Chain A
C-alpha cells in the first residue's frame, strides 16, 4: 500500500450488491477515501448519502470528471461495463480501474477497452476466485506437476439463483446470462491454470427467457492435447451460494478443488485433503468472503508499485474470447 501517508481517492459506480460491498470494504482501508458514488437509482443514492456524508453522490458518471479520483470501481450490470469504462478513460476520470467481472459483454468491446487502458494506470477485473486459498493451492500443486502430464479437466459453476423463477420471467436478463455471470469465474480459473483454451462445442438451454441462457455445457481443447468440459447453471437446486470447482486428471492421478476444499488423489498413495482451515484464510477485514479483501489489497498494492495486476484487462480478455466462442457455438 501507499507508504507516503497520502490517501487514494476512489469512486464506486453501481450500488447493487457488489457495489455496496466494495464501497464498505474500501472504507476499511486506512489509505483510501471513498470520494464519490454513482448509481442510477434514486433510492440507493439517498441511502448512500446517509452512509457516505462526505462523498459526492450522483446518478451521472460525468460528475466524477473533476473529482481528481485515483481509481474507480465499476460494479454495474455487465451490459453497461463497456460504456462506463470507456467514459472513465475518455474523460480522464481516473487512471486506475477496477471492474467487476466480466470486463464487457463481448470480446470486441473488451479488446477496445484493453487498447484504451494501455496508456493509463493499473487495471483489474474482479475474478476473485484467483484469490481463494483453495484454488491458489491447486495452481501451486499443478505448477509442481504433481499430476504428471495433464490429460483432461471438468469445471463447474452452479447456483440456485433462478431455480425457482418461473418460465418466461425476465429478471435474469439484467445479469446478462449465466455464461458471463457464473461461467466466467470457472473459465477464468481454467485459463489461469491451463493457459489458452479453444471451444470445441457448446449447448445452452434458455428456460427463463430467450435473451438469457440458464444452463450451458461446453467442451474445450488446450495445450498438449488437454481436453476440458464445463457445466454452468444458475438453476441448480441445493446451491444456496454460488459454487465453483475443477477436477483435473493427469497421468499420475487426479485433483478436485472447489471453494471449500482440495483433494489430491495420486496413484499408489492415500488421498490428501486440505480445507480452507489448513491454508490461513484470514484477512484484515472479512466482508462477503476473504477473496474480496485480498483482491482489493492486490489492486492497491499494484497501484502503489505500478505493477500489472494478476487479473488485468489483458488476462480478462482471454475469458471474454472463450465466452464469445461459447456463445457462437450455442447459436
Chain B
C-alpha cells in the first residue's frame, strides 16, 4: 500500500477503443489494431520500460489477458496494478442483452455466487438474501478480485482497487455513507488500498470529509488537465479540492484532456499542482509509449523522490 511514490501509470482506454476527444477517431484506430491483446501488451511493456511503473485498467477479459501476458515476461520491480470495476460498458451491454437492469442483476448474481470467494459469499449470505447493499457490494468486489487474482500471479502487485466513476458518483449522489465505509473496510481487510474514480472530485472531497473518511487510506482518481476538461464543476474548484485531499493518493487522469493537449503542454500544468500522487495516460502507438513516459519521467523531475511535492518542482 504505497502512497508516497509518484506513479506514472499506463491507462487502458485505447485498448477498449475509447476516446473522449472523438469516438470517430477511436473507432478508426481500434479497427486498425484489430483488438489485438498482444499489441496492447507490447505497448504496456514498452511503457514500463520507458518510465511507467504501473497499469490502471478496467476489469474485463481484454485487460486481464493483457496483464497475464505482460507479467509473464516482466523483469524488475513488480508492476503496480490499479484496477477499476465495474467496467461500465461491459455491464451496460450485458444489461441490454439481459433485458435491462433487473435481468443484469440476476445474471450477475449467479456469476458472483459461482465464482467468488466462497468465504465471502457464506459470510454475507444472510445479507445477500435480504438484498443488503453492503453484502452485495462486498460479494461483488470479491468476485472482481478473484478475476484479477486468477491472472495476476507473478511480477505484479495489486496496489488499489477502485470503484468506477458511475458507482462512485451514484454512491455520492445517494449519500450512501455506510456502503462507502463498508467498501473501504472490506478492502483494507484484504490488504488492498480502496480507491474511487470520480468525475465529481470536489463533491467527493466534501462528502468524504462530512463522512469522516480517512483520506490517508484511500486512492482517488479524477480528471486534472490544463483546459479543465471533465473537471466538474470547474477547474478552479477541482484544484482547490485537491489541496483539501492531499493526504489521499490522488491520481490524475485525462491529463492530456483525451488527446486535446500535447504531452509537453500537460507537463507544465501538472507541475504547478500541489497534491497529486501520480497520473495515468493511455497510449495507442509504440512511439507514444516510448516518448510520453520518457517525457513525463524527465519533465517531472521529482518523480523518483519518495516525498513528492509537485509545487516545489521548478521547471
**B-chain residues with CB within 8 Å of residue A258 when the two chains form the complex:** 23-24
Chain B, residues 258-278, CB within 8 Å of chain A (1/0): the string is: 101000000000000000000
Chain B, residues 81-104, CB within 8 Å of chain A (1/0): the string is: 000000001001101111111100
Is the pair A15, B101 in contact by a Cβ cutoff of 8 Å? yes
Is the pair B23, A259 in contact by a Cβ cutoff of 8 Å? yes
**A-chain residues with CB within 8 Å of residue B21 when the two chains form the complex:** 260-261, 275, 277
**B-chain residues with CB within 8 Å of residue A243 when the two chains form the complex:** 23-24
Which chain B residues (136-180) contact chain A, with CB distance < 8 Å?
166, 169-170, 172-176
Is the pair A171, B99 in contact by a Cβ cutoff of 8 Å? yes
Question: Is A68 positioned at the interface, with any CB of B under 8 Å from its CB?
Answer: no
Query: Distance (Å) between the CB of B203 and the closest chain A CB?
Result: 6
Is the pair B131, A260 in contact by a Cβ cutoff of 8 Å? no
Name the one of B106, B173, B260 contacting A43, with C-beta atoms under 8 angstroms.
B106
Name the one of A27, A171, A240, A282 contacting B228, with C-beta atoms under 8 angstroms.
A282
**B-chain residues with CB within 8 Å of residue A171 when the two chains form the complex:** 96-99
Name the one of B16, B22, B89 contacting A261, with C-beta atoms under 8 angstroms.
B22
Question: Is A154 positioned at the interface, with any CB of B under 8 Å from its CB?
Answer: no
Is the pair A277, B102 in contact by a Cβ cutoff of 8 Å? no
Query: Distance (Å) between the CB of B233 and the closest chain A CB?
Result: 5
**B-chain residues with CB within 8 Å of residue A238 when the two chains form the complex:** 17, 27, 30-31
Name the one of B18, B174, B234, B257 contacting A24, with C-beta atoms under 8 angstroms.
B174
Which of A171, A174, A282 gathers the greatest number of chain B CB atoms within 10 Å?
A: A282
**B-chain residues with CB within 8 Å of residue A161 when the two chains form the complex:** 93, 96
**A-chain residues with CB within 8 Å of residue B227 when the two chains form the complex:** 277
Which chain B residues (1-45) contact chain A, with CB distance < 8 Å?
16-18, 20-24, 27, 30-31
* CB-based nearest B residue for A273: B22
**Given contacts A17-B101, A47-B133, A27 and B174 within 8 Å (CB-CB):** yes
Question: Is B230 positioned at the interface, with any CB of A under 8 Å from its CB?
Answer: yes
Measured CA separation A283–B231 after assembly (Å): 9
**Given contacts A243-B23, A260-B21, A285-B203, A50 and B133 within 8 Å (CB-CB):** yes
Measured CA separation A174–B100 after assembly (Å): 9
Interface size class of B (residues with CB under 8 A): 35 or more
Query: Distance (Å) between the CB of A205 and the closest chain B CB?
Result: 19
Query: Distance (Å) between the CB of A225 and the closest chain B CB?
Result: 30
Query: Distance (Å) between the CB of A280 and the closest chain B CB?
Result: 8
Measured CA separation A70–B154 after assembly (Å): 58
Question: Is B208 positioned at the interface, with any CB of A under 8 Å from its CB?
Answer: no
Query: Distance (Å) between the CB of A144 and the closest chain B CB?
Result: 25
Which chain A residues (92-117) contact chain B, with CB distance < 8 Å?
none
Question: Is A84 positioned at the interface, with any CB of B under 8 Å from its CB?
Answer: no
Measured CA separation A164–B98 after assembly (Å): 13
Query: Distance (Å) between the CB of A46 and the closest chain B CB?
Result: 5
* CB-based nearest A residue for B89: A240
Question: Is B215 positioned at the interface, with any CB of A under 8 Å from its CB?
Answer: no
Question: Is B200 positioned at the interface, with any CB of A under 8 Å from its CB?
Answer: yes
Chain A, residues 236-251, CB within 8 Å of chain B (1/0): the string is: 0011110100000000
Measured CA separation A27–B22 after assembly (Å): 31
Measured CA separation A162–B231 after assembly (Å): 33
Is the pair B22, A260 in contact by a Cβ cutoff of 8 Å? yes
Name the one of A41, A282, A284 contacting B102, with C-beta atoms under 8 angstroms.
A41
Question: Is A304 positioned at the interface, with any CB of B under 8 Å from its CB?
Answer: no
Question: Is A20 positioned at the interface, with any CB of B under 8 Å from its CB?
Answer: yes
Measured CA separation A276–B20 after assembly (Å): 9
Query: Distance (Å) between the CB of A17 and the closest chain B CB?
Result: 6
Question: Is B311 positioned at the interface, with any CB of A under 8 Å from its CB?
Answer: no
Query: Distance (Å) between the CB of B155 and the closest chain A CB?
Result: 31
Which of A239, A258, A286 gathers the greatest number of chain B CB atoms within 10 Å?
A: A286
Measured CA separation A287–B168 after assembly (Å): 10
Chain A, residues 144-169, CB within 8 Å of chain B (1/0): the string is: 00000000000000000110110000
Measured CA separation A165–B99 after assembly (Å): 12
Question: Is B120 positioned at the interface, with any CB of A under 8 Å from its CB?
Answer: no
Question: What are 25 contact pairs spanning A and B, CB under 8 A?
Answer: A17-B92, A17-B101, A20-B101, A24-B173, A27-B173, A28-B173, A44-B102, A46-B131, A50-B131, A50-B133, A52-B174, A238-B31, A239-B23, A243-B24, A276-B229, A277-B21, A282-B230, A285-B173, A285-B200, A285-B233, A286-B230, A286-B232, A287-B166, A287-B169, A287-B170
Known A16-B102, A275-B22; further 14 A-B contacts with Cβ < 8 A: A17-B100, A17-B101, A28-B173, A28-B203, A44-B101, A47-B105, A50-B132, A171-B98, A240-B17, A258-B23, A261-B21, A285-B173, A286-B200, A286-B232
**7 pairs of A and B residues whose beta carbons are closest in the complex:** A24-B173, A286-B199, A286-B232, A41-B102, A46-B131, A238-B27, A284-B233
